[in-house]
Structure formats: C-alpha cells, structure tokens
Chains A and B, each alone.
Chain A
Amino acid sequence: MFEADSSFEGFVRRIEPRLHDALSAALGNYEGREATADALAYAWEHWPRIREMENPGGYLYVRGRHRGRQRVERQPLALIPADDVTTPWFEPGLPPALVSLPTQQRVVVMLLYCFEWTMSEVAGFLEISKSSVQTHAERGMARLRDQMGVRA
C-alpha cells in the first residue's frame, strides 16, 4: 500500500462529501459512491496535476459522472433502496419524481434543497452561471410539484 501525503488526505476530507453529494444526485446511491471512489483514485494517480487545478471537485465530478453513466444507463437509477426500513418518512412519490427529472435539474435540485448547498456553491462546483442554476432549480421544482400534485 502507498502512503498518501498529508495534502492529499486533506483534499479527500474536503472534497469527498461534496463529490459524493453531486455524484449520488446524478447517478444514484450505489453508483454515486462507486463513481466517487473512482474519481478520487484518479485524483491520487494524477495528484500533481489535480492539485494545481482551480476547481478539482468540478473536474472530478465530470470525470466520475462520465465513467458512471454507461453503467447507470443499463439499470434504473436507484436513489434510495425501496426496502430500507431505516428511511425516515417522506412522501413515497418523492424518489420516483426525482428520478424522472432530467439529470442536470435533479442534480441542481438535490444539491440546493436536499444537501442544502448555496446557489454560489452549486454554480462554482458545476461551473455554470448562477442564472443557469436558478433556471434548472425552478424548472426542476415545477416538475416535481406537477408530479406530486403540489400547488406552489
């Protein structure tokens, strides 16, 4: 086994929760974790280059999402296990409604409202403008309300 230097350990501690949030939103629970591990392993292998990047989290997100996409396309997106009895109560229609959203809308809605990121954090991580984040969030929430029969 190879020892990771302290800067890489700090990087993983800082970036892993956010990367995991974003990739779980994009790819589902299981694939999101796999993609996070893959992306961080890639970061370890290319650490001298990754450490110099301005937005390494965003880069690893794109890479992890690309690697995980082919696997996810072969099976339905699983955001939460249906037989998980430890899941606290929430509207049963919420996970399927989230799954039915286009990926970018789902990622933005989940980062903003499920994982409680700020608008600036989402825009910076995904490298899109705040107005795009706003648009995706509004459209995603409108779709969710429609599907769940919720009035604004």
Chain B
Amino acid sequence: MSTELHSQLAEYGRSQRAKRRPVGVTEITSAAAASTTTPNAPRAQSAEADVCETCGSDLTVFDLRDPVESPASPPRKRRAAVLAVAAAIVLVVGVVVVADQNDTNVETEPVTSATTPQPVASPSVTEPALPSD
C-alpha cells in the first residue's frame, strides 16, 4: 500500500509537469521591460537635444538646462517648502519652550530675603540702678 502511495505521487508529479507551461526568457524580459524599475533597461532619451544652441557644447556634462522646466522640479520645490515650514515650526516651538523655561526659573527662584526672619534685636533688659542711700 505504501509503495502504491509512492507510485501515485510519482504519477501525480508527472501529470503536473505534463500540464505545465514553462516560463520562457522572452516572457521574463518582456515583463521586465514593462516594469519602470528595470535597471538593465536603457534610460528614456529626452526629446530635446542636449547640445547648446549657441556654442554647441555638450549640456549633459554639467546639465545646464533650466531646472524650473525640468519635470523633477515641482516635487523638489514642494519638498523644500515643506522642509522650510517644518524648520520654522521647530524654531518657534523651541523659542517658546526656552522662554517658558526661563520664566519658570525666575518664579521658582527662592527669595531668601523675604522668607528668612530677620533677627529681632532683643531689648536689653537692664536693671535700673538702685538708688544708693
């Protein structure tokens, strides 16, 4: 019975393999090409020429194009604005906290002069001199 189970498993495996459609290289590379994160894929070429119209020098070396027109600019600007606002908030909160802390220190400072009882000069008790006869 146990060998029958083994032979059934083997038969089952053969049937699985027979029905299988293998994954081919073409299918893999097509899927990878469709993906935007493919590092092997060549970068999309810009429609505009990377050469200076005046002097003909290669602009790709230093990327002299106006960054405002670049598609990456809006997110970069937005990120910079968010960072500036966050920094301002942190600064304001810090100033308020420090100022508050200074006020607290002033209030809790012990005032020794007001609470310490001043020594009271005891009246000197002097016996009046007895009149001598």
Contact = CB atoms under 8 A, between A and B. Distances in A.
Contacts of A45: 32, 35, 37-40
Contacts of B32: 2, 41, 44-45
A12 to B, nearest CB: 5
B19 A29 contact: yes
B6 interface: yes
Interface stretch (A51-59, A68-76, A108-116, A126-134): A108-116
B2 A2 contact: no
Contacts of B22: 16-17, 20
B9 A109 contact: yes
Contacts of B5: 141, 144-145, 148, 150
B16 A29 contact: yes
Contact of A145 (B2, B14, B23, B24): B2
Contacts of B15: 80, 87-88, 90
Give the interface size bracket for A toward B.
35 or more
Contacts of A1: 26, 29-30, 33
A116 B28 contact: no
Interface string B22-52: 1111111111110101111110000000000
Interface in A84-100: 84, 86-91, 94-95, 98
A91 B4 CA distance: 10
B16 A24 contact: yes
B19 A12 contact: no
B78 interface: no
Interface residues of B, number: 37
A150 B2 contact: yes
A121 interface: no
A40 interface: yes
B12 A12 contact: no
Interface string A27-54: 0010001001100110111110000000
A8 B24 CA distance: 11
Nearest to A114: B13
Given A2-B33, A40-B23, A114-B10, 8 more contacts: A1-B26, A37-B31, A46-B39, A80-B16, A86-B19, A88-B15, A114-B16, A145-B2
9 contacts: A4-B29, A20-B20, A20-B23, A90-B11, A94-B8, A115-B13, A116-B10, A116-B13, A152-B1
Interface of B: 1-2, 4-6, 8-17, 19-33, 35, 37-42
8 A-B pairs closest in CB distance: A114-B13, A113-B9, A41-B31, A40-B28, A37-B23, A44-B32, A150-B1, A90-B8
